Amino acid sequence: MRLSFILNGHQVVLETAPDRRAIDLLREDVTHEDLLGFDLVCHDHRALEVKEGCGTGECGACSILVDGVHRLACLMLAAQLEGREVVTAAGLGTQADPHPLQRAFAEHGAVQCGYCTPGMVVAAAALLEQNPAPTRAEIRQGLSGNLCRCTGYVKIVDAVQAVAKDFAGEDSAEEPGAPCAENEGERP
């Protein structure tokens, strides 16, 4: 089928099998070549930040926003992207111009191996869109579909809370957590 959708602000048009998984399409297929004068220019929009952890909806590493809604690219098919607007972590911000969440993740040490990070940032962005001043419990709930094998989550929650405070002025409910106080070592 001929598929057209918007990926991180770029209009994408490509030929694909309708049942190709969205995650494979986003990671592998989104390139095209243009003849500009005598130069063959390769446009590479492959979204390698969309990670595959489990492929079965359990880990959240493949989190993307589809028309603003947090979804999983491993549980969507190419045809379901037709006409939609897809945003990945790379669409939220770039290295040169990071999203406040991306900056906060780096500043709070919320990134270790980094495999979960693009999905976490997308999930956090979706959460703050819905609830700009979440409590720590609400942050943990909002990120509960995203697993991290490294950080123990405390620093991730810290990072999201710091951004929420910036968004909301200082009226976000709680103090940044003393880790032991709320049993944070446990998975959500």
Partner 1 sequence: MNVLFPRTRAELFQTLAEPGARVLAGGTDLLVRLRSGRETAAALVSLDKIPELRGISETGGEGLGRGLRLGATTTHTELLAHPLVRARLPMLAQALSELGSPPIRNMGTLGGNTCTASPAGDTLPPLMALGAEVELASARPHGAGTRRLPLAEFITGPGRTALAPGEVLAAVHVPLPGAGWMQHFEKVGRRNALAVAVVSLAALLRTERGGTVAEARLAWGSVGPTVWRCPEAEAVLVGRRLSLTALGEAAAVVRAHVKPMDDVRASADYRRTVAGNLLLRLVAL
Ligand X SMILES: Cc1cc2nc3c(=O)[nH]c(=O)nc-3n(C[C@H](O)[C@H](O)[C@H](O)COP(=O)(O)OP(=O)(O)OC[C@H]3O[C@@H](n4cnc5c(N)ncnc54)[C@H](O)[C@@H]3O)c2cc1C
CB of 120 to partner 1, least distance (A): 12
23 binds partner 1 (CB under 8 A): no
Q: If binding is defined by CB under 8 A, does position 15 make contact with partner 1? A: no
Q: State how far the Cα of 38 lies from the Cα of 57, in Å rounded to an integer.
A: 45
Question: Which positions lie near ligand X, rule CB under 6 A?
Answer: 56-58
CB of 146 to ligand FES, least distance (A): 8
CA distances 83 to 4, 5, 6, 14, 21, Å, are 6, 5, 7, 12, 16
Query: Which residues on neighbouring strands pair with residue 162, listed in sequence order?
Result: none
**Residue from 75, 133, 150, 168 binding partner 1 (CB under 8 A):** 75
Q: For tokens 């929420």, what's the residue?
A: 164
Minimum CB separation of residue 57 from ligand X in Å reads 3
Nearer to partner 1, 19 or 39 (CB): 19
Pairing relationship of beta strands 2-7 and 10-15 according to DSSP bridges: antiparallel
* 44 touches partner 1 by CB under 8 A: no
| Least distance between partner 1 and beta carbon 149 (Å) | 15
Residues 110, 117: Cα–Cα separation, whole Å: 8
**Which is closer to ligand FES, CB of 9 or CB of 114?**
114
- Chain positions contacting partner 1, by CB under 8 A: 18-19, 55-58, 60, 63, 69-72, 75-80, 82, 123, 126-127, 141-142, 144-146, 187-188
